[in-house]
Amino acid sequence: MENILYAPWRTDYITGQKIEGCVFCHISTHEEDDETLHVLYRDEHCFIVMNRYPYTPGHFMIIPHRHTDSLEVLDPVVWLHMSTLAQKGVRMLKESFGAHGVNLGMNLGRAGGAGIAEHIHLHLVPRWERDTNFITAIAQTRVYSTDFEVIFRRLKEASENYFL
């Protein structure tokens, strides 16, 4: 028996315009496209962007503007700033988005599991009690239960109260 999982929202990923070079550097340098790139916040050190193919609804990343694949060479001021943004992001996910918990993580290097290994980024993944089900355990598949754009708008509005 063949299992089919329809994911029409991924059509843009397959057929859409491909970004040449580092996707995070592209987002960093195209502030005028923040809405279409799903940027929640930006300042002189970092930007916060929704993960376009999230683990759970509301999954976003904090990314330094500086292109580096090495946490150990990142300016400590930028790292501390990322940590401060992470604290604010966790608060926002819990208070404004109803998350019961949050996973924080960085996958450093391709061997460390990074999908975009050339530019470090910190993931914030909201979690809820019982947010997994049989399809995750049996089919290694995640079901995204809500519209990405609706979540982006909701978090964009909330971010104005947490990151400014």
> Could you list the active site residues?
121
Query: 3-class SS at 119?
Result: coil
Q: What own/partner pairs with CB < 8 Å and gap ≥ 24 does 88-95 have?
A: 88/162, 88/163, 89/48, 89/60, 89/62, 89/124, 89/162, 89/163, 90/124, 91/162, 92/155, 92/158, 92/159, 92/161, 92/162, 92/163, 93/58, 93/124, 93/126
Q: In a 10 Å sphere around its CB, with 0-12 CB exposed, 13-18 middle and 19+ buried, how is residue 60 labelled?
A: buried
Q: Is the pLDDT of residue 66 over 80?
A: yes
Q: What's the confidence (pLDDT) of residue 159?
A: 96
Q: How far apart are CA 45 and CA 41, in angstroms?
A: 11
Torsion angle of the four alpha carbons 27, 49, 136, 12, in this order, in degrees rounded to the nearest 10: -40
Class of domain 8-162: alpha beta
71, 106 in Cβ contact below 8 A?
A: yes
**Which candidate, 125, 121, 89, places its Cα nearest to that of 108?**
121
- Rounded to a whole number, what is the distance in angstroms from the first to the last CA of the chain? 52
More confident residue, 88 or 12: 88
pLDDT digits (tens, 9 = 90+) for 75-112: 999 999 999 999 999 999 999 999 999 999 999 999 99
- Residue 67: CB partners within 8 Å, gap ≥ 6? 22, 24, 25, 118, 119
Name the residue type at position 13: Y
Joined tokens for residue 55: 């683990």
- pLDDT tens readout for residues 112-132: 999 899 999 999 999 998 776
Q: Residue ranges of the domains in the chain? A: 8-162
